[in-house]
Amino acid sequence: MRKITFLVLSLTLLAAGTLFANGQQDKEKEIVLKWPSIWVGEDSKAGAVAELVDQFNADNAGKIRVEVEAQPDYDGYEQKIRTSIAAGIVPDIFTMKLNPTTKAYYESPLLMDFSKELNGGWGKDFNAGTVAQATVDGMVKSLPYEVAITPVWYNMDLFKKAGVSKYPQTYAEFLDAAAKLKAAGFIPTSQMTGGSNAWTSMLWYSHFLASFGGPDVYANPFGTDAYVKAAEVLLAMYSDGNTSIDAIGGDAGVSGGHYLAGESAMFINGPWYIGRVKSEAPAVYSATEVGPAPAAGNNKGAMVGFLQTNFAAAANADDPEKAAAAVKFIKWMTKSENVAKISAASGAMFAVKYDSSSITDELMGKFINASNDASFTIPHLEGVVTSDVITEFGQALGKMALGEATPEEFVEMLKKVQDQ
């Protein structure tokens, strides 16, 4: 009997020792956070972001490690995130554009709600109103990070060579300038119907919606007169040689490529593109000015601005240490000095308060002036309709540009999807 008691006691102590050892091992186990990121490769933020990730990993060596999974395909990234979440699999950390489609993610318990952390003081680090824009039903399941305006970029060297002394302020002036640019052998505007959102042309259309519909254009029913008039102007930009022949079906590489090559005079994109123009086309960078689109309607000086990229994370409700690690990393990425570093390197603008005095980029200064001078700002179309509408946008635009649909029919195609 004493032997049996001794044996039981020994086994109990052995088990306890094993459990203790495993507990220590688990406690000391490094937490690995997977981050599928688009800020890699040729992206203008890639270098600065990589340095910050490396610094975070060094500071937290043996405790937390962030592994970046390179996703250089912007369109593919959004689709991958959407598919992943639909399948119930949420990356530890990821970024997303907040729009009517992605707001549906907020219904998932698999996404982290940052509300408690923000109310604890973190929220004061963000510019006024940005957190509110990312709040849905009291939840903040995506954290505002990158913001943007998307003015028209115009190459004054090409304008001067064509005999155009100033950037057109009205639609009539635009048509006159376009005629002179074509006569001089230049492409007046960069456009694209391809990609997941026909990005450049969608932005042109958003500018003209603002010009025709004013600051409340999106408050009115979809498909009203402003939508048709904006479509008529967009069709004109696809007509008579006002854009390149490869714009139909072309993607962001086509649209941006013509501007970088000094072939097109007008282009639309956000400040994140500054770093690329500066490094790949310094002459174009030096000649670039930015401003609102020529006023086609009664509203002048409007700008398109929006939350560009939000941080999001898996809730990891069954692993609070991993959830806390994700918050720690995102707080690191939103530290004022770190945001300033990314902004200075890329030209990107952020929702986080930071000292911009270190930003000496001349073109970035022009962006800030354009934002300050705007008579009003509206989101782009992609920010207010579902992704299905934006998918239809490129296809419908292609048909209109090929003469297979009128502006009225173009708008009706979008409205049909919007109403579904």
pLDDT tens figures, 371-408: 878 888 898 999 889 889 999 999 999 999 999 999 99
Query: How much is the pTM?
Result: 0.73
Buried b (16+ CB within 10 A) or exposed e, 110-124: ebbbbeebbeeebbe
CA distance 359 to 270: 16
Residue written as token pair 């043996």: 62
CA distance 111 to 388: 23
CA distance 175 to 26: 68
What are the DSSP E strand ranges found in 164-287?
A: 187-189, 264-268
The mean pLDDT value for 217-229 works out to: 94
Identify the helix (H) or strand (E) that includes residue 96.
strand 93-96
Write out pLDDT tens, residues 86-116: 899 999 999 998 888 888 889 999 999 999 9
What domains appear along the chain, each with residue ranges and CATH number?
31-148+307-375 (3.40.190.10), 152-304+377-419 (3.40.190.10)
- Residues 6+ away with beta carbon under 8 Å from 17: none
CA distance 82 to 96: 10
Distance of CA 418 to the CA centre of its chain: 22
Nearest to 296 by CA among 374, 204, 402, 366: 204
Residues of the chain above pLDDT 90, percent = 70
Write out pLDDT tens, residues 323-381: 999 999 999 999 999 999 998 888 788 888 887 776 778 898 898 888 878 888 898 99
